[in-house]
Amino acid sequence: MAKIPHILLIYTGGTIGMVKDYKTGALRTFNFDKLLKHIPEINHLNCTIDSISFEEPIDSSNMNIENWVVISEIIEKNYANYDGFVVLHGSDTMSYTASAISFMFENLSKPIIFTGSQLPIGDLRTDAKENLITSIEIAAAQENGISIISEVCLYFEYKLYRANRTTKINAEQFEAFTSPNFPPLAESGVHLKFNKQLLYKSKVKQSLKVRNQFNNNVVILKIFPGITQNVVESVLNCKGLKGVILETYGSGNAPTKHGL
């Protein structure tokens, strides 16, 4: 008899973890210990679910490197005890966090699925239920006892993307994310269809390594028409600066005028 997958739900903050107080109209943090009360459909999933919440849920606009380390430590600590992980996160910086986590975990053999929502979980028209249910289903999906997904992904509005290929494109529509240069890894319709030829599978069977040492003395310098030498020098002269990422035009073009 096949083992039932065991999934860990990690709530960091964001709209998906909010419910509306209909008397005041205010949003309040959702108690994930009472998850089944709000989403009884989860009972139909072929998996068991535990949840961990940040002590103080974080607005994703305030997400930072220290929080990324906390997420990675939760997953690393529980890695041997679960078959997959679903991280609930605010949408504004979800691509940043999911991308960072994808580079922090080496030799990953289990799914880490990021998701969120545009409306709170208690709203009548919320997208939170579908995003959460399908993310759990993806994290629990196995073939021959092995996880179908073994990388960090982002699921939103019927599509599963490779996390470090995503960007948020819309704050008003449910289809908030896209992957401009890489197709979806899976799509959810009547059936959950995986594009298996696109899935990443590590060829090296080694133990998990988590790299959570960051240097945040790195800056992005975006090139734009009319950029001045003074602006460039101001950025390059930042105290303690260790690296600069140049965001240029097209395939790497930049102004050629003297001084730049």
The answer to whether residues 9 and 16 touch, using CB atoms and an 8 Å cutoff, is no
What's the number of CA atoms in the CB half-sphere (13 Å) around residue 48? 6
Q: Bridge-partner residues for 193, per DSSP?
A: 187
Catalytic residue among 12, 15, 115, 166: 15
Helix (H, G, I), strand (E, B) or coil at 92: coil
Place of tokens 């993806």: 138
Long-range contacts, stretch 219-225, CB < 8 angstroms, 24+ apart:
219/243, 219/244, 219/245, 220/244, 220/245, 220/247, 221/245, 221/246, 221/247, 222/247, 223/247, 223/248, 223/249, 223/254, 223/255
Q: Bridge-partner residues for 177, per DSSP?
A: 168
256 is a catalytic site residue: no
Distance (Å, whole) CA 132 – CA 136: 6
- Inter-CA distances, 96 with 71, 101, 124, 154, Å: 13, 9, 29, 11
H-state helical runs in 40-161: 65-78, 94-104, 128-140
- Inter-CA distances, 162 with 131, 140, 143, Å: 16, 17, 20
Annotated catalytic residues are 15
